[in-house]
Amino acid sequence: MELELKQLRDRCIADLSAVTELKSLDNVRIKYLGKKGELTIALKGMGKLSNEERPVIGKLANEIREEIESNIMAQKQLLEQQEIEAQIKEERIDVSLPGQKHQAGNLHPLTTIINDLKEIFLGMGFSIAEGPEIEWAKYNFDYLNVPQDHSARDLQDTFYYQDDIVLRTQTSPVQVRVMEEQQPPLRIISPGRVYRFDEIDATHSPVFHQMEGLVIDKGITMSDLKGTLDLFAKKLFGEQTKTKFRPHQFYFTEPSAEMDVTCFKCGGVGCKVCSNTGWIEILGCGMVHPNVLRFCGIDPDEYSGFAFGMGLDRITMIKYGINDLRLLFENDLRFLAQFK
């Protein structure tokens, strides 16, 4: 019986060391120590032993059981360790491999210009106003003193939704909305999209961008207009920039002017950017017409003000040397990525 037990132990230990997977370990335990296991069955035969033999064999059997159990534990730890090591090996990240590059985007040049302009005017105490792109015809024309028979109202020039609703052709109707809703003193700018019935080419698009400006207070004069816009031009194009005002005609301002700035490229000598004139036309402006103030419920005897409007696409093109307006709207990444 002693030999039989020792052989059983040796077989069990051999079986254990042959186990390579944790889940098979339990099979070995059951095979030897389970209810119908080899050791259990062997011990059932102990009844046949003599009184002297029984305690000796009993002791041995217990020792063997303990030995088998501690062997199972040891094998279990070994296999667990191996499993962890295999997992570490498999999941290891090679930090020396090149990473995947994420392409960072950048602002559209037009957005950059709008941000620059906002910053300049916010710095001068203006706030930002908004108006709808689908606008009452009377806000786009009538309240801005545009005559009933003016050609800008033509179907060839303006997108009509209904007789009295248009896609705004300019940001100027925001002036009307601001004056209707707020009391002077007013100091606002309003950048946004505008629409005109134009064929697309290098300098025209049915959708483009403008920025409106409006100042209303007591005692505002043309010199306030000139001082403000001259400062703005210097901040946008550089300290050396000079401005000049040419008389012009707009229905909602009187007197009206267009403002030119000295070419930021050649400094006024003449080059390709300024078509050899030394000057670049930047915006329209003027003193708000008394009729417009009256239409909007502001007393022209008490208040006066100035307004201005500029084409943002044009300014963007001039500033960045872009020669085709279409590039601003095509969203070609090869173009846009140049403004990083």
| C-beta closer to ligand DAH: residue 264 or 308 | 308
Give the nearest distance from C-beta 287 to ligand DAH in angstroms. 8
52 annotated ligand-binding residue? no
Long-range contacts of 295-302 (CB under 8 A, 24+ apart): 295/142, 295/143, 295/145, 295/176, 296/143, 296/175, 296/176, 296/179, 296/180, 297/179, 297/180, 298/179, 298/184, 298/216, 302/218
> Which tokens belong to 127?
């706030």
- Render the burial of 123-150: b for 16+ CB within 10 Å, e for the rest: eeebeebebeeebbbbbbbbbbbbeeee
**DSSP state, residue 214:** E
Give the nearest distance from C-beta 270 to ligand DAH in angstroms. 26
Stretch that binds ligand DAH, among 63-71, 181-189, 302-310, 327-335 (CB under 6 A): 302-310
| C-beta closer to ligand DAH: residue 116 or 254 | 254
Give the nearest distance from C-beta 136 to ligand DAH in angstroms. 16
| DSSP three-state, residue 161 | strand
Site string for ligand DAH, 186-215 (x = CB under 6 A): --------------------------x---
Contact set for ligand DAH, span 122-181 (CB under 6 A): 170, 172
Near ligand DAH by CB under 6 A: residue from 308, 317, 318, 328: 308
Q: Length of the chain, please?
A: 340
> Which tokens belong to 236?
């946008």
Give the nearest distance from C-beta 306 to ligand DAH in angstroms. 7
Q: Is the preceding omega at residue 185 within 30 degrees of 0, hence cis?
A: yes
| C-beta closer to ligand DAH: residue 110 or 211 | 211
Give the nearest distance from C-beta 121 to ligand DAH in angstroms. 14
- 307 in Cβ contact with 199 (< 8 Å): no
Cα–Cα distance measured from residue 328 to residue 317, given in angstroms and rounded to the nearest whole number: 9
Contact set for ligand DAH, span 277-296 (CB under 6 A): 284-286
> Which tokens belong to 124?
């001068």
Stretch that binds ligand DAH, among 88-96, 124-132, 158-166, 303-311 (CB under 6 A): 303-311
Place of tokens 């300024």: 274
Stretch that binds ligand DAH, among 15-23, 236-244, 306-314, 316-324 (CB under 6 A): 306-314
| C-beta closer to ligand DAH: residue 184 or 286 | 286
Cβ atoms within 10 Å, residue 73: 11
Give the nearest distance from C-beta 231 to ligand DAH in angstroms. 17
By CB under 6 A, tell whether 245 contacts ligand DAH.
Answer: no
- 214 in Cβ contact with 318 (< 8 Å): no
Rule CB under 6 A: which residues touch ligand DAH? 170, 172, 212, 250, 253, 284-286, 307-309
In the annotated binding site for Mg(2+), the residues are 254
In the annotated binding site, the residues are 254
